[in-house]
Every structure is written in C-alpha cells, then in structure tokens.
C-alpha cells in the first residue's frame, strides 16, 4: 500500500456538503476520502441534501480511482443527495475526467458545473440548499 497522494477538506453546512480537492490523487487517497465523506454525511441520511465540490486545485487522478468514484456516487445517490455542483475553471481534461465518472442528471438528481463558487452557492440556494457559513470559500 502506498502513502496517500491527494488532499481534500470537507465541511457540512446545514444540508450541503462543501468540499475542496487539491493535488493529484492515487487510489489510497480516494479510499480515505470516501471514508471521511461517508462519516461526515451520515447525519444527512434520510434527508435531501446537496454537494458543492471545488476542483480548482485538483490535478486529476490515477485510473484506479474510477471504480471507487462510481461506488461513491452510488452511495451518495442512494442516501439522499439530489443536487451536486462542481466548480473549476474551464478545462477540457478536467471536465472529461470528472464528468465521465459521475452520474448524469436525471429526474431525482441534478448536477451543474460552474466556474465560480459564488455561482454554485447561488444555484444551490435557488434550489433550497442555503449555505449559511460565510467562510465556506476559505475551505
């Protein structure tokens, strides 16, 4: 087993999980991240909730993360996530890598991509998911 390569921060703000990713990720990082995410999301299970993910400083991941991301998505969809937004500057490689791994929008789940966190926060608020922590951008 290798050391974790990749970094993340997760904060639960009401009924929204706000997370920031950075660095390049290996398989050990995605496994540890999912454990952290599920532990922090546990109080939201049984409710409708949203995710705000900031990928601006994320530098992609190894191919081995794909199966873990798919399982993670299955978990959060089965446990109440109905809105999901990604924030990153337009980047074809990042978009291709992220958006091919994640579930498409359907009648129960909607995902949007934004170039600025403020836009994502406003969209979530318009959907009833208000982030009250004003320090959220400092995550």
Residue range 22-40, pLDDT digits in tens: 999 999 999 999 999 999 9
In our burial notation (b when 16+ CB lie closer than 10 A, e otherwise), range 32-58 reads: ebbeebeeebeebeeeebbbbbbbeeb
130: left (phi > 0), else alpha (psi -120 to 50), else beta? beta
Q: By C-alpha distance, which of 63, 53, 60, 54 is closest to 6?
A: 60
CATH architecture group of domain 7-138: 2-Layer Sandwich (3.30)
pLDDT for 138: 56
With a cut of 90, say whether residue 104 has pLDDT above it: no
Quote the pLDDT of residue 95.
Answer: 81
Beta bridge partners of 57: 22
- pLDDT reported for residue 134: 57
**Distance between CA atoms of residues 16 and 80, nearest Å:** 11
Stated pTM of the model = 0.92
Q: Would you state the pLDDT for residue 136?
A: 61
Q: Does the CA dihedral 128-12-32-55 come out positive or negative? A: positive
Q: Where are the domains of the chain?
A: 7-138
Bridge partners of 61, per DSSP, are 25
Residue 127 has pLDDT above 60, yes or no: yes
């Amino acid at each position: 087993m290798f050391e974790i390569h990749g970094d993340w921060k997760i904060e639960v703000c009401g009924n929204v999980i706000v997370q920031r990713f950075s660095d390049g990720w290996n398989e050990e990082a995605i496994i540890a991240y999912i454990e952290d995410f599920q532990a922090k999301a546990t109080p939201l299970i049984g409710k409708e909730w949203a995710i705000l993910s900031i990928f601006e400083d994320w530098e992609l991941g190894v191919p081995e993360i794909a199966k873990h991301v798919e399982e993670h998505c299955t978990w959060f969809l089965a446990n109440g996530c109905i809105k999901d937004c990604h924030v990153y500057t337009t980047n074809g490689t990042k978009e291709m890598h992220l958006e091919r791994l994640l579930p498409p929008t359907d009648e129960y789940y909607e995902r949007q991509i934004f170039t600025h966190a403020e836009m994502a926060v406003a969209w979530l608020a318009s959907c009833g998911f208000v982030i009250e922590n004003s320090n959220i951008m400092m995550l």
